[in-house]
Structure 1
Amino acid sequence: MKKLYGIGTGPGDPELLTVKAVRLIESADVIFAPNNKGRNMALDSAQPYIKKQKVVLLDFPMGKTTRQTYIEAMDQIDENIKDGQTGVFLTIGDSMIYSTFMNMINAEVHDHIEVECIPGIPAFLAGANSILKNVVEKGERFLLVDDAEKMNLTDVDSVAILKTSKNLEATLDKLEAHQFKYYYIKHVSFDQELVLTKRQDILKEKAYMSLLLARKSKI
């Protein structure tokens, strides 16, 4: 039987991969990752642990993926792993959070491929550790979203908003209207990581790999 591991590579820093993830990457026969104009952040994070394995980039056009896209990607994986071999699919963060990997796995049944997932550190947890702020405290309610337009902050104490480049001003308006104090973090875990708290500074930013951590003011 073929074996496929979905591996969360964390927020970007190669040192934040788990020991198990590194071991499986190093021993894999084939490495898979989403194609992003020939590059991939998850692939970059895992690069120190990739030896001479075959690397296959799979196309998932942003905003244009369909069930057929995922089926074709899974078929490519099937074609590139031989019986008895293992492959790893690298995904930034964790495979269970807004995951291309799970969309692909759920699109089509492959009874002859065994699938296992290895956890990775999500960017919002890396960011919270960076600024030394709790994501959530005992008894609180936490919300994670990747589309701030749809978030409902009623009865929410803490929120993490991913991919903030869209509708950033409206997002800050909504947070302020509900008395949330916020932190904008760009390029979490990288040398160029940037943390901003002032609205005028945040609105100058347009980075895709960014997030907002916000907590309701207790004052």
Structure 2
Amino acid sequence: MTVYGIGLGPGEADLVTVKGKRLLESAAVVYSPGRLSRTVALNHVPEERIGDLDFPMTRDPDELRRAWKEAAAEVAARADSEDVAFVTLGDPNVYSTFGHLRRTLDAFHPEVDLEVVPGVSAMTAFTTALGVEIESGTGLALREAANGAAPTGPDRMVLFKVTDAPATHEKLTEAGYDVRFGRRLFMEQGETVVTDDPDELAERDYYTLAYAEREGVERDVATAEFDGVESGGSA
């Protein structure tokens, strides 16, 4: 049978894809690695079909490997006779807990069939919420900015895990970037905040992102207007 890694999207229950919803409803058990993904999954799956897996928040490599092996063993055993799902916020292939499970299954249970069902990533939801258009020909970098980190270089960046917004903002503005923040966007849990003021986000929150654009960056955006023809005129 098959293990489906299903992206739930950024947090709103109705941003789950049609395919994701169909597979959630048909899976024998739906494993959730955390409280928030479980909350979203419960909009589509009865509680008795939700399974919990332990993925500890630690940097101890031995403890992490033990937890991943135990989780993979449980999932593989269930998938031996029925389809199961593993859900994650965002997309399963973008900074997701599912990556740990997939690699461990590949290493210790290669007989298990895996299929990934994409979800709306937090990064694309974030640019939508801010009204940021990443036009054709534009480069956009994705960077982690935990604990006050402020990576620089690209003209446009989406930063995630911005757990110290004031420190990140100070460093980026000194480096010549305009910065805007969003917290818990398209999420049903917690307060949604969109702001240019990092002091509004002084309290740390894992689900905070930032969009940083270098000051004065030039744009060459195609429009429906033509050379020599004023807007509203005729040729």
SS in 2 for 1:218: coil
| Contact kept in structure 2, 1:6 and 1:115, CA below 8 Å | yes
| Contact kept in structure 1, 2:143 and 2:151, CA below 8 Å | no
Distance in 2 (alpha carbons) for counterparts of 1:200 and 1:52:
39
Indicate the structure whose relative CO is greater, using CA pairs within 8 Å and at least 6 residues apart: 1
Q: Does the alignment pair 1:69 with 2:64? A: no
Q: CA deviation at 1:78?
A: 1.7
Range moving further from structure 2, 118-127 or 16-25:
118-127
Distance in 2 (alpha carbons) for counterparts of 1:190 and 1:140:
28
Q: Structure 1 runs of 4+ off > 6 angstroms? A: none
**Which residue in the other structure is 1:176 paired with?**
173
Q: Does the alignment pair 1:198 with 2:197? A: yes
Change in 2 beyond 3 A, CA 1:7/1:205: same
Aligned pairs (5 A) from 1:1-219: 2-35=1-34, 40-51=35-46, 54-64=49-59, 66-83=64-81, 85-107=82-104, 108-134=107-133, 136-147=134-145, 152-154=151-153, 156-165=154-163, 167-190=164-187, 192-202=191-201, 204-218=202-216
Range moving further from structure 2, 58-67 or 12-21:
58-67
Structure number with greater Rg is 2
The TM-score, its normalising length taken from structure 2, stands at 0.81
CA deviation digits over 1:80-124, x for unaligned, max 9? 3342x1000000111111121112211224233100000011112
Q: How much identity, in percent, do the aligned residues show?
A: 27
Query: Which structure: greater strand fraction?
Result: 1
| Contact kept in structure 2, 1:28 and 1:53, CA below 8 Å | no
| Contact kept in structure 1, 2:150 and 2:172, CA below 8 Å | no
| Contact kept in structure 2, 1:93 and 1:123, CA below 8 Å | yes
| Contact kept in structure 1, 2:6 and 2:20, CA below 8 Å | yes
Change in 2 beyond 3 A, CA 1:168/1:200: closer
